[in-house]
Amino acid sequence: MRSLIEQFPEFLADAIEIGKKAELKSTENTIENVVIIGLGGSGIGGTIIAQLVAEQLAVPVVVHKNYGIPNFVDSSTLLIGCSYSGNTEETLDAVRAAKKKGAQIACITSGGQLSSIANENGWNCIRVPGGNPPRSMFAYSLTQLFFLFIHYRLISNNHLVDVAAAQNLLQKNREKIQERAADVAKEINGKRIVIYSDNGFSGVAERFRQQLNENSKQLAWHHALPEMNHNELVGWGGGDDSIGVVLLRSAFDNPRTMIRMDLSKKIFSHHTSTIIELHAHGESLIEQAFYLVLLCDWVSLFLAEFNGVDPIEIKVIDFLKSELSKV
């Protein structure tokens, strides 16, 4: 996993080249809504892109992490199936249901059944390198979503400039990011970690939680402001020093949410001494999102080392899939 995280900037550069070379068919159908299907490491890119380009979108985007599809799906729907392995049963179920409804379907995968189904039906499909844990291929999955959004005229191709800038940013700040992550991991080691962010970065917070779950083998939770201020903040009356708070902060956070975060931090400080702020770097929203993702990936790896666990191993998920295959 260390090697895979180290290669994140290179993966991002490769992902851009794959997207540029992808042969995608045009569509004459009007797209009135978008549904992105994907779970776990294959699905988090959908959550994040929907937030990063929300202000530019003229149609609603729904990220569906379940079997089946929303009832509104029809021929005016662009459904994007994201499954790194190509064999995620929930995604395959959703794609098959979408085909019956006449939806426009595109896929992002490394192979498997999803790739075969895409070939059989002549769907647009961008294929990425396989053989790695899906969560380690985030640079590929999110980048290809940008390419699909651009191809279907949902956003402008200006976003690719920001993706390329993010690659340069991460490459130039390798050592700085790792050093900051190592310091953060030391400070929150042994704590139950709670992650807070502005609502626009809740997908990045979710990604961090997922990485702590899978890489570090520890439970954590995340929430977003301002919603967190309307419920969970009261729960801090039962908080204590066993909890470590990580605040993900961006220059693009809503100004009122920035104030809320500062005030919330004061409330947390009455219950725990471990409050860490991770500030995003970069000129654009996309750069800052990629920066925080990589920084948090490193934190999860260093915590895995502190916990004495293998960050690659996911035996419990393998067991679950094996048992499900028997039913």
3-state secondary structure of 195: strand
What is the b/e burial string over 226-248, where b = at least 16 CB atoms within 10 angstroms of the residue's CB?
eebbeebbeebeebeeebbbbbb
Distance CA 203, CA 52 (A): 9
Contact, 184 vs 159, CB < 8 A?
no
Annotated active-site residue 25? The verdict is: no
Q: Looking at 25, 230, 266, 326, which residue is catalytic?
A: 230
3-state secondary structure of 206: helix
As to burial, measured by CB atoms within 10 angstroms (0-12 exposed, 13-18 middle, 19+ buried), residue 13 is: middle
Cβ neighbours of 88 (radius 10 Å): 26
Q: Looking at 64, 151, 206, 214, which residue is catalytic?
A: 214
Cβ neighbours of 117 (radius 10 Å): 20
Distance CA 177, CA 196 (A): 20
Annotated active-site residue 287? The verdict is: no
β-strand pairing of 192-198 with 220-225: parallel
Strand partners, 220: 193
What is the b/e burial string over 16-45, where b = at least 16 CB atoms within 10 angstroms of the residue's CB?
bebbeebebeeeeeebebbbbbbbbbbbbb
Rounded to 5°, angle at Cα 176 from 172 and 182 = 140
Contact, 297 vs 5, CB < 8 A?
yes
Dihedrals phi, psi of 272, to nearest 5 degrees: -145, 150
Annotated active-site residue 266? The verdict is: no
Residues known to be catalytic: 214, 230, 321
